Structures are given as C-alpha cells and as structure tokens.
Amino acid sequence: MLALLAISVLFSLMAVSTTPQPPFDANYPITQVFWPSFWSGHLALEHISMLAPSDVGAGGSHGAFNLGQLMGLHGLASLVPLLVIWVMAAVVWIGIKARYRSGLQTDAQT
C-alpha cells in the first residue's frame, strides 16, 4: 500500500511540475510527456501565465514557474524548496499529532 502511495505522489509531482495540461495528441501522457520532461529537468512547461499582464513583469516570457525557479534554481533542483516545505509541514503535523495523543493520555489518567 505504501508503494502505491509513493508512486501516486511521484506521478502527481511529475504532472504538476511539468505541465498539468499535456498536449491532446499525447495518448500516454505519463510516458510521453511527464516522465521524460521531469527526469530531464524540463519543468514548468506551460507558456500561458496565470498572472495578470501587469504582474508578469518585463522579463516574463514564460508563463509557468515554481518557487525554486524564482530563487534561481534550475531543473530538478528547483523542486528543493517545495520538498523542504513538505518536510516542514510533516514535522509540524507529527508534532501536533504527538501533542494531541499525549494530551489524551494525560486526560485519561486524571
């Protein structure tokens, strides 16, 4: 079950970090678009920006970006800030869960 979760997270990460809208002529987008683009470091392939034209700026020729690219990182390294945020969120979540469980145990003892 854990392996299926890991594969699902990997495929989702590959899809959203490359392009959430693969070309219509891609019959098998995971193997034709997501996999080769992701592992070769071609991320944020979308050319249409979600930002308003006034927010794009002078050098904004590419519509899609991620936090790592804004920090000057390229390829798969640009996903490091996302992974750091995920790890920090997991640590906070585990800490909250541990505090909640210890609170239940102290309430049960009193």
Q: What is the pLDDT of residue 64?
A: 74
Q: What is the pLDDT of residue 60?
A: 53
Is the pLDDT score of 28 beyond 70? yes
Q: What is the pLDDT of residue 110?
A: 60
pLDDT tens digits for range 35-82:
999 999 988 877 666 666 655 555 555 667 888 888 999 999 999 999
pTM for this model (two decimals): 0.68
CA distance 66 to 38: 14
Domain boundaries, the chain: 2-109
| Percent of the chain residues past pLDDT 90, beyond the cut | 45
Nearest by Cα to 34 from 50, 5, 66, 10: 10
Contacts of 13 (CB under 8 A, 6+ apart): 38, 79
